[in-house]
Structure 1
């Protein structure tokens, strides 16, 4: 296992792959809720850089700020301080319509709850982001994605006719169809059994290896994080450790070392 940093001092920059093109960068990210004595700090000065074609997992104890970090990086939430760039675009100051267009065209999302429209077929759910943008799918790219998710014989089925794993693979295909700069996956296997989880994680891994996709995944499962190239660990709103090429056992040990707090 290669180690980026065993412990990262508060305020230190997150480890990144030197010389690689950066797809997502967060600089000095803070996020607070409430005010006065009721203030809650979810992020406390996080610096993070995700390279193009990287599969990065984010882990940490409950309340560590991992989902808040992902939401800020994805433009789903606004940080209280700091700045986020996706590619060469700063999210700071973007008008609502511009931010909506960026999320639709340049960011893919995979959530635990699938979020498929029940009245649409699998094929229609996959192409929904393009339909909303008034764009027609590239037939060759559509075929590539459909073959990658292994649902060629289920394209005419509605979500209620699909298993949970199949629904999540449709959600993955929907996230990939726009050729986004980055796919954010928030606990994508949380509602799946072990077999379906493996299928979805294999798909995300292959999207990186075969399609050059950039993936950022929040998970609490060491076995899921082991699919990633790099794992970032948060605790108390700070980036405290990172590992590359880690096994599930390595990741579990790292989690146990976070002040003795289990994930």
Structure 2
């Protein structure tokens, strides 16, 4: 039986990809195209941010890449698995076993303590956590002294750290974050973003985050900019200032 490490070593450098993906809602005169023939590759063990004006398709792209929304045409892959060809049961199993999610709302169960919330998805799936990995995740997100606390006993930033640890605990191939710091103040948001950054650098996790915040995007290795359902630009090694300048140009173009 191959170890987790040996499996990682033989994986493709691409964690997920979209090929000529179209996502449209409605038909005829009421048809709205949210994604317009999008091609993109998400690199493994890298942090990718997705940005764009309201209505640009950034959340739709993430939902399609994560298998939460079906494409109208084109193909979506996670690793070598084609999500766009899967039936519901297989897709549900793939999302459970290979994909992690972090949402703006923390989605913690109030009756469970932090550790129980972290391991809940694996408990439901009937899988035992890898204890060494779980310990490392808990250390990375700084929760070792909060494991017995219930969500009401934790700050917003600590609750989101529990959600981050929950997403990391099953060692998914890729984690998607939908505005994961949107409900946090700037200090707590920076704290959570730092943990996401560490999970990429130290745990070799693959992270994709939709955000409207240039400061959050600056934690990523790469930023994809969407406009009108298309990827119009990307930026490597972003800074908050460079991202903000790019977003201002978007706004200026829309107003002209």
Q: TM-score, normalised by structure 2?
A: 0.93
1:150 maps onto 2:142 in alignment: yes
Please give the alpha-carbon distance, in whole angstroms, between the structure 2 residues aligned to 1:153 and 1:41. Answer: 48
Q: CA deviation at 1:222?
A: 0.2
1:28 maps onto 2:20 in alignment: yes
Q: Could you list the runs of 4 or more consecutive aligned residues of structure 1 that deviate by over 3 angstroms after TM superposition?
A: none
Q: CA deviation at 1:41?
A: 1.0
Please give the alpha-carbon distance, in whole angstroms, between the structure 2 residues aligned to 1:132 and 1:96. Answer: 18
Please give the alpha-carbon distance, in whole angstroms, between the structure 2 residues aligned to 1:100 and 1:122. Answer: 25
1:101 maps onto 2:97 in alignment: no
1:40 maps onto 2:32 in alignment: yes
| Aligned position for 2:73 | 81
| Aligned position for 1:227 | 219
Please give the alpha-carbon distance, in whole angstroms, between the structure 2 residues aligned to 1:259 and 1:202. Answer: 28
151, 169, 173: which one aligns with 2:161: 169
Q: Secondary structure at the match of 1:135?
A: coil
Please give the alpha-carbon distance, in whole angstroms, between the structure 2 residues aligned to 1:181 and 1:117. Answer: 24
| Aligned position for 1:241 | 233
| Aligned position for 1:9 | none
| Aligned position for 2:245 | 253
112, 117, 120: which one aligns with 2:112: 120
Q: Do the aligned residues in 1 keep the contact of 2:76 with 2:84 (CA within 8 Å)?
A: yes
| Aligned position for 1:130 | 122
| Aligned position for 1:178 | 170
Please give the alpha-carbon distance, in whole angstroms, between the structure 2 residues aligned to 1:105 and 1:139. Answer: 17
Q: CA deviation at 1:259?
A: 5.7
Please give the alpha-carbon distance, in whole angstroms, between the structure 1 residues aligned to 2:238 and 2:229. Answer: 22
| Aligned position for 1:193 | 185
Give 1 or 2: higher helix fraction.
2
| Aligned position for 1:6 | none
Please give the alpha-carbon distance, in whole angstroms, between the structure 2 residues aligned to 1:259 and 1:188. Answer: 23
Please give the alpha-carbon distance, in whole angstroms, between the structure 2 residues aligned to 1:118 and 1:28. Answer: 42
Q: CA deviation at 1:160?
A: 1.2
1:61 maps onto 2:53 in alignment: yes
Q: CA deviation at 1:258?
A: 2.1
Q: Do the aligned residues in 1 keep the contact of 2:53 with 2:251 (CA within 8 Å)?
A: no
Please give the alpha-carbon distance, in whole angstroms, between the structure 1 residues aligned to 2:52 and 2:112. Answer: 36
Please give the alpha-carbon distance, in whole angstroms, between the structure 2 residues aligned to 1:195 and 1:92. Answer: 39
Q: CA deviation at 1:120?
A: 1.1
Q: Report how many aligned residue pairs link the two structures.
A: 243
202, 208, 215: which one aligns with 2:200: 208
CA gap of 1:155–1:46, structure 2 versus 1, over 3 A, is same
Please give the alpha-carbon distance, in whole angstroms, between the structure 2 residues aligned to 1:117 and 1:96. Answer: 26
Q: CA deviation at 1:29?
A: 0.9
Q: Which 10-residue stretch deviates more, 159-168 or 20-29?
A: 20-29
